[in-house]
Structure 1
Amino acid sequence: MLPNLTWWVLGLNTAAALYMTGVIWLVQCVHYPLLRYVGAAAFADYHQRHVAAIFPVVALPMLVEGLTAAWLTLQPPTGIWPPVLWGGLVCVLAAFGVTALVSVPCHDQLAQGFDAATLDTLIRTNWLRTLAWTGHGGLSLLALAQFGCRRP
């Protein structure tokens, strides 16, 4: 991969990973726990508004993160230890997998109305996404440091 292109792909990957790390910690520590206090009467409407509002906040960064992590893993830049890149891709796949297989079904169920057990499952399993995105954020910074944080 060309050094200039590598710098941009690494930069986009790191920015997306750190952005998603910040988003997921806010969701995990603030937003999801506060869902308990919305009230049953307003819950379905509030939840629908949450889903509609969060999509544009996370869709593009997740797409960028997934594509750049895959690209870096399949086209490893010189100077970056491959397990760092593979570890980052595994973190991304874990976050995306938990999102698709656990979080989305929980949200689908919550769209019908408040259910304490489903919300507890969402909060508990969201720690997996929180750890995965945090791990990818750290690994992407390490990859950037290994590349030398240099712009050709």
Structure 2
Amino acid sequence: MDNSKFYLLLWSLLSFWELGQIWLVQIVVYPLFAKVGEADYVGYHRFYTSRIPLVVILPGFASFLLPIALAFFGPAVPMWMTATNIAAGIVGLLVTVVLEIPRHGKLETSGKNETLIAELIRYNWPRTASITLQAAVTMFMLAHVLGG
């Protein structure tokens, strides 16, 4: 297997990891934030944020940025696949940095806030959609490269 196909397979693993992870966060983890009592909230959120770097943050930022490298080092695919993958990564990155990280910071320092939790869930939908789109495009990439 040449390096470009190997890169695509590695990207595929990351993309599908992120797909499962983002839907778990959207449907289970973020809604659970509202179920934690106010007295325990800051401790709960600190515990959460101390456990996510390796399984959520690192793969998440990689999924936002690696489509650019894949465009240069991956196999030849139709331009729409590459452009869509990169655009979806940019959307995910912007949502994370501009909307989600500041809200997590406020929740961790100020404690439980129903409005912030609702915003966290609502603003996570574009990121969920962008990661879902990346996984779908990755399926097309795999079909294009491995099927032909």
Q: TM > 0.5 between the two?
A: yes
CA apart distance, 1:55:
1.4
Match of 1:107 in 2: 104
1:86-112: CA deviation from partner (whole Å, max 9, x where unpaired) = 101111111111001100001011112
For residues 38-66 of structure 1, what are the alpha-carbon distances to aligned partners after superposition, in whole Å with 9 as ceiling and x for unaligned? 10000000001111111111233235434
Cα 1:59–1:149 shift into 2, 3 Å: farther
Structure 2 CA distance for partners of 1:43 and 1:109, relative to 1, 3 Å: same
Q: Which amino acid aligns with 1:29?
A: I
* Distance change >3 Å, CA 42–CA 99, structure 1 → 2: same
Task: Give the aligned partner of residue 81 of structure 1.
Answer: 78
Which amino acid in 1 is paired with 2:120? Answer: L
Contact 1:13 1:64 (8 Å CA) reproduced: no
Give the 3-state SS of the residue equivalent to 1:37 in structure 2: coil
Q: How far apart in 2 are the matches of 1:101 and 1:28?
A: 18
Matching residue's letter, 2:63: E
Aligned twin of 2:20: 22
Give the whole-Å Cα distance in 1 for the aligned partners of 2:54 and 2:147: 30
Q: Which runs of 5+ in 2 are unaligned?
A: none
Asked if 2 retains the 8 angstrom alpha-carbon contact of 1:12 and 1:64, the reply is no
Structure 1 vs Structure 2 CA RMSD: 1.7
Q: Is 2:29 aligned against 1:31?
A: yes
Preserved CA contact (<8 Å) 1:99 1:129: yes
Pick which of 61-70 and 37-46 moved more.
61-70
Query: For residues 36 and 57 of structure 2, what CA distance do their matches in structure 1 show?
Result: 25
Aligned equivalent of 2:68: 70
Letter of the 2:92 counterpart: A
Normalised to the residue count of structure 1, the TM-score between the two structures is: 0.89
Runs of 4 or more consecutive aligned structure 1 residues displaced over 3 Å after TM superposition: none
Aligned counterparts of 1:29 and 1:7: Cα–Cα separation in 2: 33
Contact 1:65 1:92 in 2 (8 A): yes
Give the drift of 1:131. 0.3
Q: 1:132-151, aligned counterparts within 5 Å? A: 132-148=130-146
Secondary structure, counterpart of 1:77 in structure 2: coil
Which residue of structure 2 aligns with residue 129 of structure 1?
A: 127
- 1:73 deviation in Å? 2.0
TM-score, normalized by length of structure 2?
0.91
